[in-house]
Amino acid sequence: MTQHIQWHKTLSTEGLAALQQPGGVIVCPTKVGYIIMATDKAGLERKFDAKERKRNKPVVVLCGSMEQLRALVQLNPEIEAFYQKHWDEDILLGCILPWRADAKAALTKDGREELMMDKRGTSCFVIKFGLPGEQLAEYLWRSEGKMIYASSANPSGKGNRGKVQGIGERIESKVDLVIEADDYIASIQPDKTVETRYEQGVMVSMVDKDGKLVPEQKGERSVHPYPVVIRKGLAIDRIMMHLADSFNTWDYRHGEYY
C-alpha cells in the first residue's frame, strides 16, 4: 500500500526523498486542498495517468521563492511588483506567463514541455501555495535546481474537499507517498465549511492571445492587452484589490482559459 505520513510543519524528508527519485510522484497538501507533485517527465506521465487527465491541460509550475520565479519567467517591473506584493502578504497566486528564453533552453530535453506548457509556450507559475509544498519547492530549487510541477489530486472534474480521502483510490494507489494535513488545509479558511470553501487558487493571465507578455501600463489608462482574471479562488477579493491598485486596466473573465 502507498505510504501515508503526517506533515509536522517542517520540510518532509520522506516527501523530498520520493521526489528525488526518477519518476517520483507524491500527494501533498496546499492551502486549497491536495495536489499531485512531480519533478520530471516520467513523474508527469505517472501523474497524468493517475488522474486520467487530458494531456492538453498542462500542470502548473510551483515556485518556492521569488528568486526562482525571476529565474524562470519573463516579467516586467509592474508584474514583478504585483507578485512581490502577494509574496509579502502570503497570498496564493498563479499567473500565466512566458518562459525566459534561457530557462526554457535549460530544460531537460525529455519531452516534458508537452505536459507543462500550453501551445503558446506559456505556463502558470504559482507562489504561496502552502507551507508543506513550499518547503519542498524551495529546497529542490535551491539545492538541485529542480522544479515541481503539479495539479489537483482528485479525479478530473471532482474536488478533494481538502480531505485526504477525497483524492480517490486510483490516485492513492498510483503515487509513492501521501503527505496528510487535513487540519492545515481547514485552518486556511476557518470561516468556511467543506461545501463553501475555495478549492482552487486565483489565476491571472499576464499574456496576450499569442502568449506575449502584456505591456507595462505606467499609470496610463486603457492600455491593451491587459491582465485578465481567468479563474476565481482563494483570496479573490484581496487579489482583485491588488489588481486595481497595480493596473488601471484589467478584466475578469472566469473560465475563459484553463
Residues in the chain: 258
Is pLDDT above 80 for 5?
yes
Where is average pLDDT lowest: 82-91, 156-165, 232-241? 156-165
Give CA–CA dist 246/37, Å, rounded: 32
pLDDT tier for residue 253 given thresholds of 50, 70 and 90? very high
Where is average pLDDT lowest: 27-36, 104-113, 172-181, 225-234? 104-113
Q: What is the mean pLDDT of the chain?
A: 95
Domains of the chain, first to last: 3-252 (3.90.870.10)
Please state whether the predicted TM-score (pTM) of the whole model is above 0.85.
Answer: yes
Q: CA 213 → CA 43, 84, 114, 170, 240, distances in Å?
A: 29, 18, 21, 38, 19
Per-residue pLDDT at 74: 98
Per-residue pLDDT at 177: 98
Is pLDDT above 80 for 157?
no
Model confidence pLDDT, tens digit, residues 92-126: 999 999 999 999 999 988 889 999 999 999 999 99
Percent of the chain with pLDDT over 90: 90
Per-residue pLDDT at 194: 87
Nearest Cα to Cα of residue 160 among 2, 18, 28: 28
Per-residue pLDDT at 152: 95
Is pLDDT above 70 for 134?
yes
Give CA–CA dist 134/218, Å, rounded: 32
φ and ψ of 11, to 5 deg: -50, 130
Is pLDDT above 90 for 203?
yes
Mean pLDDT of 135-164: 92
